[in-house]
A and B are shown apart, each in its own frame.
Chain A
């Protein structure tokens, strides 16, 4: 986390915003992956879809 903070460009307030955006993107990707992988557990039981 500290390393990421050091790598981010700009002053501290800008880095904070960048960090928030990165966290949101990471969460969105994670959510998408969870949804996709969830279909392997249980796709809803539809026939022929």
Chain B
């Protein structure tokens, strides 16, 4: 009787009490997010003009490949916020996700909502931005992540604007498969969560590429330049 009560109390705490605690934190963060993003927007540096060396498209009939060209574009930089602070808003319409993302992936931060890995770029910046989140406890923001399909869209609003990503890859990996967090050409967003439901044995990983937003042109040019170097 004692053991059964303890197990029930444990499940009740994990599945319901943590949700209740998370709901309160998310509601407060969501209510003040717009004002925080607006305040951060006023402190952002101006967009930087940049030049990217991009290889010309090679036509099969051309005798000699065209030399690479310089393309001028603008880059909108954004740096991370202090640990535990709200970074932006994550929206995945396909599975009804609408959450405030916080900076950091430590235990306390992830109790508040999805967390951005501080050593990866902010979403929308060149590279691979990684966001982790709970699957079955603390508001279970990524409970339905396995329902996503290639081509579904993910939006992240940060101080510089809304970045739209399109899902390109879905993986199930081991918890220490850090290759999914490595740099990628262009701008990418990687979402990670526990897998399967009610187990932390593996990780479900969704990787999406930037298809619209303030840095879309710059990220696309960087990706083309990178592909040109690799070719």
Contacts and interface: CB of A to CB of B under 8 A. Distances in A.
Interface of A: 30, 34, 37-49
Interface in B187-231: 192-194, 198-200, 203-205
Nearest to B137: A42
Contact of A45 (B14, B176, B181, B193): B193
A47 B137 contact: no
Interface of B: 6, 9-10, 13-14, 18, 105, 107, 110, 115, 117, 130, 132-138, 140, 142, 173, 175-178, 180-181, 192-194, 198-200, 203-205
B133 A45 contact: yes
Nearest to B195: A45
Contact of A47 (B6, B18, B135, B178): B178
A44 B176 contact: no
A46 B114 CA distance: 10
B69 to A, nearest CB: 38
B203 A41 contact: no
Nearest to B173: A47
A38 B105 CA distance: 16
18 contacts: A30-B9, A34-B9, A37-B10, A38-B10, A38-B14, A38-B18, A40-B199, A41-B199, A42-B137, A44-B138, A45-B133, A45-B142, A45-B193, A45-B194, A47-B175, A47-B178, A47-B205, A48-B178
A43 B192 CA distance: 11
Contact of A44 (B9, B14, B115, B198): B115
A7 B176 CA distance: 50
Contacts of B105: 44, 46, 49
B134 A44 contact: yes
Given A34-B13, A34-B14, A47-B180, A42 B194 contact: yes
Contacts of B115: 44, 46
A34 B178 contact: no
A30 B17 CA distance: 14
Contacts of B9: 30, 34
A42 B200 CA distance: 5
A42 B10 contact: no
